Amino acid sequence: MRRTAWFCISTQLFLLPVLSQVPTAALPQNEVSLQRFVCNTGYTVEKCHKDVAVLRRALAKYPVAQLGNWTWILVRSEDWKAILLPRGLEPDSPAFTFYPRSETFIEEALVTEVPGRRRELLLKWQMNIGDLLDFAIAHELGHALCNEKDEAEANRVAKMLRGGNSPPCEVNLEAKTHRGRIREPR
């Protein structure tokens, strides 16, 4: 998942906020989830909730709470390449992280059936869609948790995370400092 310098795209997307409440049984008493989930324009509320539920299940095995305030943004596959290409990002990369805004963008085809695009991704990545979603999440967490810009290092961290191990880095200080405030998309 290639990362390059780019312009803040979240201000250019119209986002559909989704309630980011985690069932109270899943959190320690008096702790609120700092993870937010939104869908870009074009999603219906019903489809957004359905796709976010798939993403939440995939994230459940990872230490996302260590990120502090973080926003996960689902982007429709039909809009994906138009967002990545002008910014010099790899169009077949199904996820990317914009660390300055604490945001990870996930392509719709990773969480729901998008026939043409899913086939492209399966051919490119040579793994089933469930494994690709898991890989994409772990890889982006490699960047986010360790403030890691190097792709090979993010892959190494992702492999450890997928194996159930803690990140081999000091969790970045910037994520920790954002814990106390929840930011709304601009």
In the prediction, which pLDDT does 171 show? 53
Are the C-beta atoms of residues 75 and 13 closer than 8 Å to each other?
A: yes
Distance (Å) of CA 136 to CA 67, 107, 128:
16, 10, 12
Q: Is residue 186 part of a domain?
A: no
Q: Is residue 182 part of a domain?
A: no
Q: Is residue 38 part of a domain?
A: yes
Amino acid of residue 128: N
Please report, in tens digits, the pLDDT of each residue of the chain (186 residues total): 544 333 333 333 444 444 333 332 343 433 446 899 999 988 999 999 999 999 999 999 998 988 899 999 999 999 999 999 998 888 889 999 988 899 999 999 999 999 899 999 999 999 999 999 999 999 999 888 888 888 888 888 888 899 888 877 765 444 444 433 333 333
Domain coverage including residue 88: 11-177
Predicted TM-score of the model (pTM):
0.76
In the prediction, which pLDDT does 14 show? 42
Dihedral Cα 38, 184, 66, 112, nearest 10 deg: 0
Q: Is residue 172 part of a domain?
A: yes
What is the tally of structural domains in the chain?
Answer: 1
Are the C-beta atoms of residues 130 and 122 closer than 8 Å to each other?
A: no
Residue 87 has phi, psi (to 5 degrees) of -100, 5
In the prediction, which pLDDT does 36 show? 94
How much of the chain is in helix, strand and coil states, percent to nearest 5? 50, 15, 40
Q: Is residue 184 part of a domain?
A: no
| Beta partners for residue 107, in sequence order | 75
Q: Is residue 165 part of a domain?
A: yes
CATH of the domain at 140: 3.40.390
